[in-house]
Amino acid sequence: MKPIFKGMCAAAAASALVIGVSCSKKAHENPFMKPYDTEFQIPPFEEIEISDYMPAFEAGIAEANAKIDSIVNNPEAPTFDNTIEPLSHLSPTLERVMSVLMALVEADSGEELTKVSEEIMPKYTAFSDEMMMNPGLFKRVEAVYNNIDTTRQPLDERRAIEETYREFKLKGATLPADKQAELKKVNGQLTDLYLKFNKNLLNANNAFAIFIDDKARLQGLPQNTIDNAAKEAENRGKKGQWAFTLHAPSRLAVLQYAKDRNLREQMWKGYTSNATQGANDNRPVINQIIKLRAQKAQLLGFKDFAALMTSDKMAGSAEAAEDLLMKIWEPAKAKVKEEVAEMQALSDAEGNDFKIQPWDYYYYAEKVRMQKYALDQAAIAPYFAVDSVRKGIFAMANKLYGLTFEEMPDAPKYNKDVKVYEVKDAQGKHLAVFMTDYFTRPSKRQGAWMEELKTSWVNKDGSVERPIIYNVANFAPPTGDAPALCTIDDVQTAFHEFGHALHGMLSRARLRSQSGTSVDRDFVEFPSQFHEHWAFDPEMLKEYAHHYKTGELIPDSLVVKINNAAKHNMGFMTAELAGAALLDLNWGHLNPTGDIDVSAFEQQVADKLDMPAELTFRYRSPYFKHIFGDEGYASGYYTYLWAEQLDADAFELFKEKGIFDKATADKLRAVLEAGGSQDPMVLYRTFRGHLPDPDALLRQRGLK
């Protein structure tokens, strides 16, 4: 479920000093202070100034507090309509300003916007705490909960009541006043630490660079990587050299293709020590976060933070999550040994006298792929230009759900890289606005994600509000005359995040608190991972994989190679992911009294798992943003693999019926449209006809 009140930069640059302005010039109006007059209520990004955020935020908080007071002081008996439902829409002003702030601080931030967020977020946390611990408000929520009509009340309302009541309890509503004060203090401190962690990480990412002045050291690297490295060096004041950074397109290309082993080692060590030095060292921040999370869990009556964070998930407990992870970890670890043996044999055959190390893994995995499957990534890339991949995700949505996408070139956007589309259903009616923001830049955090600038719901009069959804990624930008070309991982990422977007776009949930991705955290990754299956399906590739120069359709021979190699290196990828999820839960089990040596703790977990020496966790703790940048995936990184049980089992039905079988797609669409209005396992069982088969995940990954 979404939090009861869900908040949703270069684009918001400070206004320039203008000399000699005519007195007739229209004064600036704060765009957040009234409904946007743009088409489909897209935020007018170009009109927003840094000075607009705080006044709008303060006005929104005042609106929200007035609404809360009106709920608490309502003389009528508490009901869903006068107590629960209003909590999901306390202030349109606050919704507008927070949705834009949170979008841009992640995707296109700058020093000024960062300062604004550092002022606003603690105040927002304090507001949320005051609301969730308001005794008069909780008394009304509890009264509604105690009087649920299990026979006549609609199911979505019953779920909303139950989840609202549960959320209030988990946020401290039942604690005595002194404990509530302590919890508020802890939450405020955590908010500051999350901001600090993210700021340190962004700064550390941008500060790191490996400069190369010898062209011979570039052997093996793709030309677009070399071109981008030259541009990066020039931007950093070293024209004529090449600069490689920790941003994924640069980092992964070096690890996968660079013949220079020292360069690979330098990159690997730079990445795995990210955010551990100087002012950007996140290890002290992690120590403070862990202590405060343990304190928070104990205040709320849980044995540890992991127990708190899994209590309201499908898994139900950290132990259930760990049980699943260990069932995956052991076969994945065994597969890693097989993969390393193949790499070592290949390296030995080349006359090398070294043992495979972690910085060799990507490089020799790619060599083994070439040897076993004759699959050359450089030969594939021209068929996966970013625009072609975008065409592919749109084609999938059309063939499965009848959706069409029309570009809106004049729509407001927060960065020139953003593209905006109107989404229409099979009847040609407006369904959503969809934005893509695919290229890496210093103002954007690492990774890929989906969010919404506006959610969907049904008004009391029956009118429908439709959402504004966006996808963000970090693909390599275009260079010279060549378009941006995607790697296999990039293509999967685009389909993954678009699966989340479809969950938001297709939503027909009546209540805004249950719209789209407002589902259990360990169910939210099901639609995203599920739609990855279409990325390289032969039938799907015919829709979008055309050579960017010639327009030639990807040859059948390449399609066969891509799919034959689909499970290549799966031991490494699975162990890396499962290991990170287990590290996350181990952090969640701690109740420390003193400081913890972060690196030593990671090694203890690795030793306990008997982790192969050739790999490490997918994310080391100082840059594990999923779990230390906020609480969204904290003690919940396992949910990717938990949801994969569902997606692997579900896709077996499509393989049986046909990947574009309309009846099966319609049944799946019903799951996506429901959002959080029904129990996710009930939705899944209705779609699939049975509970998910856990072994489907192992089959999908070639581990069984």
Percent of the chain with pLDDT over 70: 96
- Residue 54 burial (C-beta neighbours within 10 Å; 0-12, 13-18, 19+): middle
- Give the model's confidence band at 18: pLDDT under 50 very low, under 70 low, under 90 confident, else very high: very low
So what's the pLDDT on residue 10?
Answer: 32
Positive or negative, the CA dihedral 620, 625, 631, 634 is: negative
**Catalytically annotated residue among 497, 543, 576, 614:** 497
Domain boundaries, the chain: 31-132+134-174, 208-274, 304-375+569-592+602-700, 381-554
Number of H helices, E strands in the chain: 26, 9
Q: What is the pLDDT of residues 300-315, one digit of tens each?
A: 999 999 999 999 888 8
Other beta carbons within 10 angstroms of residue 28's beta carbon come to 11
State which fold the 304-375+569-592+602-700 domain adopts.
Neurolysin; domain 3 (1.10.1370)
Q: Are 256 and 262 in contact (CB under 8 A)?
A: no
498 vs 501: CA distance, rounded Å: 5
* 7 pLDDT more than 60: no
203 vs 388: CA distance, rounded Å: 33
434 vs 432: CA distance, rounded Å: 6
* 660 pLDDT more than 60: yes
Identical fold between 31-132+134-174 and 381-554: no
So what's the pLDDT on residue 315?
Answer: 86
- Give the model's confidence band at 150: pLDDT under 50 very low, under 70 low, under 90 confident, else very high: confident
30 vs 37: CA distance, rounded Å: 13
Q: Specify the 3-state DSSP secondary structure of 253.
A: helix
* 2 pLDDT more than 70: no
522 vs 321: CA distance, rounded Å: 10
So what's the pLDDT on residue 377?
Answer: 83
- Give the model's confidence band at 25: pLDDT under 50 very low, under 70 low, under 90 confident, else very high: low
Q: What is the pLDDT of residues 336-361, one digit of tens each?
A: 999 999 999 999 999 999 999 999 99
* 591 pLDDT more than 90: yes
pTM of the complete model = 0.92
Q: What is the pLDDT of residues 612-650, one digit of tens each?
A: 999 999 999 999 999 999 999 999 999 999 999 999 999
- The CATH classification of domain 31-132+134-174, taken from the options 3.40.50.300, 3.20.20.150, 2.40.50.140, 1.20.1050.40: 1.20.1050.40
Give mean pLDDT, residues 119-125: 97
- Give the model's confidence band at 11: pLDDT under 50 very low, under 70 low, under 90 confident, else very high: very low
What are the structure tokens assigned to 9, written together?
């930069």
Q: What is the pLDDT of residues 404-461, one digit of tens each?
A: 999 999 999 999 999 999 999 999 999 999 999 999 999 999 999 999 999 999 999 9
Give mean pLDDT, residues 503-519: 97
325 vs 427: CA distance, rounded Å: 44
Give mean pLDDT, residues 521-543: 94
Name the architecture of domain 381-554.
Answer: Orthogonal Bundle (1.10)
- Residue 70 burial (C-beta neighbours within 10 Å; 0-12, 13-18, 19+): exposed
Cα–Cα distances in angstroms (integers) from residue 565 to residues 488, 544, 556, in the given order: 11, 20, 14
Q: Are 514 and 159 in contact (CB under 8 A)?
A: yes
338 counts as catalytic: no
Q: Specify the 3-state DSSP secondary structure of 545.
A: coil
What is the β-pairing status of strands 404-407 and 419-424? Answer: antiparallel
Q: Are 102 and 451 in contact (CB under 8 A)?
A: yes
So what's the pLDDT on residue 313?
Answer: 87
Q: Specify the 3-state DSSP secondary structure of 668.
A: helix
Residue 125 makes CB contacts below 8 A (sequence gap 6+) with: 187, 188, 190, 191
Q: Specify the 3-state DSSP secondary structure of 14.
A: coil
- Residue 204 burial (C-beta neighbours within 10 Å; 0-12, 13-18, 19+): buried
